[in-house]
């Protein structure tokens, strides 16, 4: 029986084990939703109710024949047709009539010449006009 002398060198390899989990911690902070869509019921109608209904209610028609009582009557438009083009606020009367140079007639909400001359006219704020414009740009939905 031959005794083989073989030296077996066992190399103990210590493999470095990476125990550090370098997981990227993703902060799931909800980004502020400035992209929230504008609601007809909650955002647009309250403006109309406060600033327009005094003159644009169905039982209180002015010569524009535009009733702003609710979504359906608004959608029907007035003497000059529909007051909005869904998706295009810049082409919509509902926005154009609120600006300094309306396409016809008076700037809305209508103020007396006396008030305008005295610098006491009450117009919608930039913010309110933007809200209505955004709602139209988002499709003018009954939301
Ligand atoms: C003090 C009364 C008064 C108020 C308040 C008022 N309107 Fe008017 N509106 C009128 C009169 C009168 C006309 C017709 C003459 C004109 O077009 O300038 C008119 C016309 C319009 C027209 C044109 C409709 C068409 O088919 O000819 C639009 C659009 C309109 N108003 C939107 C508004 C909006 C939006 C508001 C509120 C922000 C508003 N109005 C507030 C009196 C008013």
- The list of the chain residues with pLDDT below 70 reads 1-35, 61
End-to-end CA distance of the chain: 96
Ligand 1 touching residue 111 (CB < 6 A) = no
Nearest protein Cα to ligand 1, atom 2: 55
Does residue 83 have its Cβ closer than 6 Å to ligand 1? yes
How many whole angstroms from its chain centre is CA 92? Answer: 16
Q: How far is the CA of 79 from the centre of ligand 1 (A)?
A: 11
Residue 5's pLDDT is: 54
Q: Is the CB of 96 under 6 A from ligand 1?
A: no
Report the b/e string of 67-84 with b at 16+ CB within 10 A.
Answer: bbbebeebeebbeeeebb
Instruction: Provide Rg for the chain, Cα atoms.
Output: 33
CB 76 within 8 A of CB 64: no
Cis preceding-peptide flag for 127 (omega within 30 of 0): no
Cα separation, 21 vs 66, in Å, equals 66
């Amino acid at each position: 029986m031959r005794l083989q002398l073989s030296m077996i060198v066992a190399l103990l390899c210590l493999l470095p084990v990476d125990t550090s989990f370098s997981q990227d911690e993703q902060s799931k902070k909800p980004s502020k939703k400035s992209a929230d869509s504008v609601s007809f019921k909650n955002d647009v109608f309250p403006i109309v109710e406060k600033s327009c209904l005094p003159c644009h209610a169905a039982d209180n028609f002015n010569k524009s024949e535009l009733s702003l009582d609710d979504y359906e009557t608004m959608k029907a438009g007035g003497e000059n047709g529909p007051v909005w083009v869904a998706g295009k606020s810049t082409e919509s009367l509902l926005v154009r009539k609120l600006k300094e140079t309306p396409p016809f007639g008076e700037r809305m909400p209508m103020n007396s010449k006396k008030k305008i001359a005295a610098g006491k006219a009450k117009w919608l704020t930039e913010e309110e006009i933007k809200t209505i414009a955004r709602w139209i740009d988002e499709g003018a939905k009954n939301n």
